[in-house]
Amino acid sequence: MSGAASIGEAWRQASQRIGRGEARSLLETVCVCSHADLIAHPERLMSEDQVWHFDALVARRENGEPLAYLLGSAWFAGLEFAVSPAVLIPRPDTEVLVNLAAERAVRLPTARIVDLGTGSGIIPVVLSKRCPAAALTAVDVSAAALAVAQSNAVRHGAAIRFLEGDWYAPLAGERFDLIVSNPPYIADGDPHLAGDGLPFEPQGALTDQVLGGDGMACLAAIIDGASAHLAPGGWLLMEHGYDQAVKVRERLAAAGFREIASWRDEAGIERVSGGTFGEGVDGAAG
């Protein structure tokens, strides 16, 4: 940082490297100060450790590491969540899935909901806020991801049962009114995996890692196993890739689901698909 010692000079120099807004966010984190502090007291001196730490974070951001990992947090649905390289960074697209799940859950007095592949736990935590009477379970194969999810549940006072395992493995004999999932669905070799900070995110949470696959392996496993874990009239809702809606609907139909539908995100892309299994509580598409 060329020996910068004040927060104002550090901000100025870093802004030339990564942009003013991101430089400010990192500086506020390192120096434990507010935006108002930066404006009102640019002469405030940084310690040598703060200078070193800030410069290291700026260099990592220059190298493409996502800002959320450097800050250790990200926002989703109006709530702040802890994140780490063990979990995906929340995307606004997933709000489509959460909204659809909440619409169905509130129709039941005590909905039993499970989130498969919970990652940072954003889905069950938000659902706990919108559906406080729901009984929430979250499953992930990664112990490191579950640790992040549990910390987020504590942060937001959410009562969630966390289980470690692969999809339905820890749920033997259990049935739910709603199964939700944002599983790995990017196809092997998809060029998107090389850009936009994705190389820094857990690849096992992005792609099913099937060599030459189309990204459908995890989606198919969830669909095929759902009937054994859905209560009568229960719903399965899944986020998927921009070009997978038709395949997902076909798989749902083959598995015996009805009221099959897809829902679009704000960009007009079919982002979530699902259906209901068996007879039960009305859950018409919203």
Strand partners, 270: 264
Pairs from 187-191 (Cβ < 8 Å, separation ≥ 24) = 187/213, 187/214, 187/215, 187/241, 188/212, 188/213, 188/215, 190/215
Annotated binding site: 117-121, 140, 167, 182-185
Pairs from 140-147 (Cβ < 8 Å, separation ≥ 24) = 140/164, 141/117, 141/165, 141/166, 141/167, 142/86, 142/202, 142/204, 142/205, 144/84, 144/86, 144/87, 145/86, 145/87, 145/118, 145/119, 145/120, 145/202, 145/205, 146/118, 147/86
Annotated binding site for S-adenosyl-L-methionine: 117-121, 140, 167, 182
Annotated binding site for substrate: 182-185
Alpha carbon 119 to its chain centroid, in Å, reads 6
* 276 token code pair: 């209901």
What does the alpha-carbon distance between residue 176 and residue 186 come to, in Å, rounded to a whole number?
A: 27
Q: Give the dihedral of Cα atoms 29, 126, 94, 197; nearest 10 deg.
A: 20
